[in-house]
Structures are given as C-alpha cells and as structure tokens.
C-alpha cells in the first residue's frame, strides 16, 4: 500500500506539468495498460468487477480523459462534424445550428461551427481545414458551386438550402419559390401592383430564386417588370436601409416591398419610418425567415416562417444515416413547408 500511496503523490505532482495518460491510470490501479484500456474502451465485461472499480477510481483521481485523437487513428472516426454557415450574426442560423447540434449530439457526434461570411475563398479554406483535421462529415450552406470541392473531402456532405446545384449530395431546405409566390399574391390581393424586390446579391441561387418568383408573379398578372424596383444587396439591415432609400427616391416609388429576408426587411422598415412613411398605410413591407425580431418590430413584420430548427434536424439525420451505413442510397432533396405569417406591416392599398 505504501508503494501505491507514494506513486499517487508522484502522479498528482506530475499533473501540474502534464496530462495523465492511460499508463498513469494503469500504474495507479495496479493493472496492465491493456486492462485499463479495455475498461476505458467499453469492454469492461472482460474485466473483473473489483479490477474495473480500481481502474475507474484511478481515472477519477487523476482526472484522466481519453485521447480522442489517438482513438480516431484506430477507428478512423473523430466523431466531429463541421457546420459551415454564411453569416453567424444572422438570427436565422442559430436555430438551424441548434437543430443540427441536438440531433448530432444524440448520435454521439460533436459539432464545430465556422462562418464563411459570404466569402467563397474563405469557405474553400474551411474545407481544407475539414479535410486536414479528419472531420467525419460536413453540413454546409455553400458559396462555391464547384461540387468537386465537396467530393474531394471523401466524407458525407449535406447541403443546407436549394440542392439543385448539388444533385449528388443530400440537401435540406424550404419551399422558398412557392412561399415567395404566396407573399406576392397576398400583396396583390391588397391592391398592390407596384411591388419592389430587395433581393440578396446572387450567391449561388439565393437571389436568383427570389428573382424568378418575382418575374413569374408579374407574368401571371400581366404586369410589366420595372427593373428600377429590383435592388440586389448584401444580406444586412444596413443594406436593407440603403435599398429602401433608393426605392423611395424614385420618381414613382413602390407601394409595397418584398425583401429576401427579415434582416433586409427590418432595415427597409427603419428607412421608411426615418422619412416619415407610415407602415402599412403608405407602404407595405414583407420579409422572409420569421426571425425573432420580426415579431418585435413596430409594426410587427409580415413574413414567411421557415422551419429553422426542423431544417437542422433533417440535415443532421440525413448525415447520421450516411455515417451509420446508409452510404449507397440515392441522394435525398428535402424541401420543408414555409408558412406565410400575416402581421401588421402589410395592408390594403389606399389610393
């Protein structure tokens, strides 16, 4: 017992200088390294109860934690998933990320989130990091359309958003095209014929999808598209503010505005109110995403609610399926329903 006690004191002094290892655990428990490893790797049924208890007590005394990197070299799994999103400051993404993290965590995986900041080159650097650090999978809302970048990772990849440009990968998004049509039709029923579009700058298909729906709406109702009412911008409230200022400066300003997301719509609303426009009496505004702030504006923002948490859950579920042996099935492209939410920022056109 004296030898064990002396060794215990020695090990605790050593902890100040370095992390305890499986060898330290084995020595303190008085067992072989192989026996300690069996207990730590979940093969405790091969070890006597008394021995297992000694090993676990040594682990607790030393504060030992298993070396995941060394384990990954044996199993070829790191149990880490990369999540790459374009704008971590946009309130849309935390709910998506939470759905992903909760689902992956239940499957035994940790999530590492990175922000591409709408920068294709920065995204490419992150993809190299994913490959270099042996991540097991990737969930991404991509800027790049070069599918070879994702294929070369040699890991399962799930696309967040419209998967049309990535047919060989699973994708999860919302039915944006139909949702935009529903919002524009609502404005039409309120009497609006001069509807502006603040579209996010075309990164992949984001702005394009809104633009296509906008043009289809005009064709359906035999309305002429006034190109001056279409403004492409960054996805920020400042960009929405600036876009609205441009629209209000037109010789014939719009009676309604549809913005590509709520952040743009809130910026547009602020700009209109700053020059004394009453919302919705003078101008109707509709956004998309239904972020938390959309219900807090004055007036509350009419918008399209995307199922953010559910998008994250579905994406993580598809990825877990690939990781757990479902690698050969055809790619799935899931579009979840987006719900139109009527609030106070859109109203009847008064001539």
| Closest by CA position to 311, among listed 164, 144, 93 | 93
For 40, the token pair is: 């730590």
Average pLDDT, the chain: 88
Cα radius of gyration (the chain): 27
User: What is the model's pTM?
Assistant: 0.80
Helix/strand/coil for 179: helix
Query: 176-307 in CATH: which number?
Result: 3.40.50.2300
Q: What phi and psi, each to the nearest 5 degrees, are found at residue 300?
A: -60, 140
Q: Which CATH superfamily is domain 78-173+308-332 in?
A: Response regulator (3.40.50.2300)
- The confidence score (pLDDT) of residue 294 equals 97
Task: Please state which of the four CATH numbers 3.30.300.130, 1.10.260.40, 3.40.630.30, 1.20.1050.10 is assigned to the domain occupying 2-66.
Answer: 1.10.260.40
CA dihedral 27, 31, 33, 36 (to 10 degrees): -100
Where b means 16+ CB within 10 Å and e means fewer, 142-166 reads bbbeebebbeebebbbbbbbbbebb
pLDDT bracket for residue 123 (50, 70, 90): very high
- Tell me if domain 2-66 and domain 176-307 are identical in fold: no
**Stretch 69-89: mean pLDDT:** 76
Burial class of 34 by CB neighbour count within 10 A (0 to 12, 13 to 18, 19+)? exposed
pLDDT bracket for residue 121 (50, 70, 90): very high
Strand partners for 304: 340
Q: Where are the domains of the chain?
A: 2-66, 78-173+308-332, 176-307
Lowest mean pLDDT among 169-173, 253-257, 321-325: 321-325
**Stretch 114-125: mean pLDDT:** 92
């Amino acid at each position: 017992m004296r030898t064990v006690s002396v060794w215990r004191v020695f090990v605790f002094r050593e902890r100040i200088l370095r992390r305890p290892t499986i060898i330290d655990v084995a020595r303190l428990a008085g067992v072989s390294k192989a026996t300690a490893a069996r207990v730590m790797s979940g093969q405790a049924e091969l070890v006597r109860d008394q021995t297992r208890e000694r090993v676990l007590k040594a682990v607790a005394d030393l504060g030992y934690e298993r070396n995941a990197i060394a384990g990954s070299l044996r199993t070829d799994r790191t149990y880490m998933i990369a999540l790459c999103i374009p704008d971590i400051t946009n309130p849309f993404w935390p709910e998506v990320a939470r759905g992903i993290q909760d689902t992956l965590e239940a499957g035994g995986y940790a999530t590492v989130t990175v922000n591409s900041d709408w920068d294709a080159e920065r995204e490419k650097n992150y993809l190299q990091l994913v490959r270099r650090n042996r991540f097991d999978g990737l969930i991404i809302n991509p800027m790049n359309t070069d599918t070879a970048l994702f294929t070369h990772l040699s890991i399962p990849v799930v696309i967040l958003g419209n998967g049309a440009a990535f047919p060989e990968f699973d994708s999860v998004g919302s039915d944006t095209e139909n949702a935009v049509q529903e919002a524009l039709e609502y404005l039409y029923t309120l009497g609006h014929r001069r509807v502006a579009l603040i579209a996010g700058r075309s990164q992949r298909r984001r702005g394009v999808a809104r633009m296509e729906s906008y043009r289809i709406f005009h064709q359906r109702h035999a309305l002429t598209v006034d190109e001056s009412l279409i403004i492409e911008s960054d996805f920020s409230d400042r960009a929405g503010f600036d876009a609205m200022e441009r629209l209000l400066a037109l010789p014939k300003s719009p009676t309604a505005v549809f913005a590509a997301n709520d952040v743009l719509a809130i910026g547009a609303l602020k700009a209109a109110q700053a020059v004394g426009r009453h919302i919705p009496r003078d101008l109707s505004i509709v956004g998309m995403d239904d972020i938390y702030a959309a219900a807090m504006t004055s007036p509350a923002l009419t918008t399209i609610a995307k199922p953010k948490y559910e998008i994250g859950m579905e994406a993580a579920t598809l990825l877990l399926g690939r990781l757990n042996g479902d690698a050969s099935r055809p790619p799935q492209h899931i579009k979840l329903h987006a719900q139109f939410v009527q609030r106070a920022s859109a109203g009847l056109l008064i001539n």
